[in-house]
């Protein structure tokens, strides 16, 4: 049976935060969750776009400013969310950049690694106390088919790399980092006896704002052709993240993607994960690197209650 938005269970009484909800797949995800009754917080870099998106989402949608390329902004956003709600049921780490025009984030990181991975690593750690002990709570992190193009996880040397903003390898590594993070988070949550689980999802291919940025010249005809033939509507591409977020039958540690055309489009089913994403040692190394770079510390596995503190 094909899973669709009609299968999203009643979300009344639940609160969800969706990053990058000003457009594309995040807006679609937020819209469906709100339609099913969730209170949805749209975490957006541009507040005006966020307010316009909230009007389209309807229901109990509200906006919080979040620039994942600035750790100061991530901390402020987490603080504001903690001031507004005393629990979160869903955190959807959806926002992402591909080939942005800027060379570094505000903190000096290569933008794919900084926004797609480090920003979400920090945000999740800072919001985790709101989720950890909530029955049915989930963290969903949006990865990409492109994670399979990355042979290895990001290393310390990649964090500040110059020129990565135009690099397919840098985007792919950041999406591999998303998947590794989702898995490692799940392992740590499970080890510490937390109620919350972590799941990864990828949307296949969808014609969204992501593709408007400046791809390397050699890639443009390839991506234009692939989008023409294979891309699906954002409404369909959001299904894997929506299912990961709301289907109780999807286990923690899982990874969902589209069912058809080599996972490019159609449905929401268990997805393939690259060998690199299953390398447990590499996942731990990435976790430690991410803690060092962001200053957001998650407690040691099993040693104390799973919590995030701030080292700086």
- Name the segment binding ligand NAP (CB under 6 A); options: 30-38, 84-92, 202-210, 242-250: 202-210
Residues 25-44 interacting with ligand NAP (rule: CB under 6 A):
25-26
Whole-angstrom distance, CA of residue 76 vs CA of residue 66? 8
Tell me the sheet residues that pair with 256: 201, 270
Interface with ligand NAP, residue 240, by CB under 6 A: no
Interface with ligand NAP, residue 142, by CB under 6 A: yes
Q: Which residues of 264-277 are buried (b: 16+ CB within 10 A; e: fewer)?
A: bbbbbbebebbebb
- Among 17, 18, 38, 205, interactor with ligand NAP by CB under 6 A: 205
Interface with ligand NAP, residue 273, by CB under 6 A: no
For ligand NAP, which is the closer residue by CB, 36 or 147?
147
Dihedral angle sign, alpha carbons of residues 248, 253, 258, 260: negative
Report the catalytic residues. 171
Interface with ligand NAP, residue 45, by CB under 6 A: yes
Distances (CA, A) of 301 to 112, 113, 298, 307: 27, 24, 9, 10
- Among 4, 7, 35, 46, interactor with ligand NAP by CB under 6 A: 46
- Name the segment binding ligand NAP (CB under 6 A); options: 89-97, 148-156, 189-197, 291-299: 89-97
- Name the segment binding ligand NAP (CB under 6 A); options: 1-9, 19-27, 55-63, 189-197: 19-27
Residues 99-118 interacting with ligand NAP (rule: CB under 6 A):
115
- Among 206, 277, 290, 294, interactor with ligand NAP by CB under 6 A: 206
Rg (CA), the chain: 18
Whole-angstrom distance, CA of residue 170 vs CA of residue 187? 25
CB of 10 to ligand NAP, least distance (A): 25
Q: Are 241 and 206 in contact (CB under 8 A)?
A: no
Interface with ligand NAP, residue 22, by CB under 6 A: yes
Write out the residues near ligand NAP by the rule CB under 6 A.
Answer: 19-20, 22-26, 45-46, 49, 66-69, 94-97, 115, 142, 144, 202-203, 205-206, 208-210
């Amino acid at each position: 049976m094909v899973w669709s938005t009609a299968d999203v269970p009643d979300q009344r009484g639940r609160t969800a935060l969706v990053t990058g909800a000003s457009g594309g797949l995040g807006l679609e995800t937020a819209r469906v969750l709100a339609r099913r009754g969730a209170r949805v917080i749209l975490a957006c870099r541009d507040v005006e776009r966020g307010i316009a998106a909230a009007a389209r989402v309807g229901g109990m949608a509200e906006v919080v400013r979040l620039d994942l390329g600035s750790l100061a902004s991530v901390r402020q956003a987490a603080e504001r969310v903690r001031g507004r709600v005393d629990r979160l049921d869903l955190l959807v780490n959806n926002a992402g950049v591909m080939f942005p025009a800027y060379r570094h984030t505000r903190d000096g990181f290569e933008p794919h690694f900084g926004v797609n991975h480090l920003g979400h690593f920090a945000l999740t750690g800072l919001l985790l106390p709101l989720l950890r002990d909530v029955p049915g709570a989930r963290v969903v992190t949006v990865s990409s088919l492109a994670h399979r193009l990355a042979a290895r996880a990001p290393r310390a040397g990649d964090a500040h790399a110059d020129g990565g903003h135009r690099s397919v390898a840098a985007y792919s590594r950041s999406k591999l980092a998303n998947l590794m993070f989702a898995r490692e988070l799940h392992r740590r949550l499970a080890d510490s006896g937390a109620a919350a689980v972590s799941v990864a999802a990828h949307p296949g291919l969808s014609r969204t704002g992501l593709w408007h940025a400046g791809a390397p010249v050699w890639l443009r005809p390839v991506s234009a052709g692939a989008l023409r033939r294979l891309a699906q509507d954002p409404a369909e591409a959001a299904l894997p993240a929506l299912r990961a977020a709301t289907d109780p039958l999807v286990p923690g540690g899982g990874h969902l993607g589209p069912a058809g055309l080599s996972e490019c489009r159609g449905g929401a089913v268990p997805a393939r994960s690259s060998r690199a994403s299953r390398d447990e040692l590499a996942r731990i190394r990435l976790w430690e690197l991410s803690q060092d770079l962001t200053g957001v510390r998650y407690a040691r596995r099993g040693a104390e209650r799973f919590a995030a503190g701030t080292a700086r």
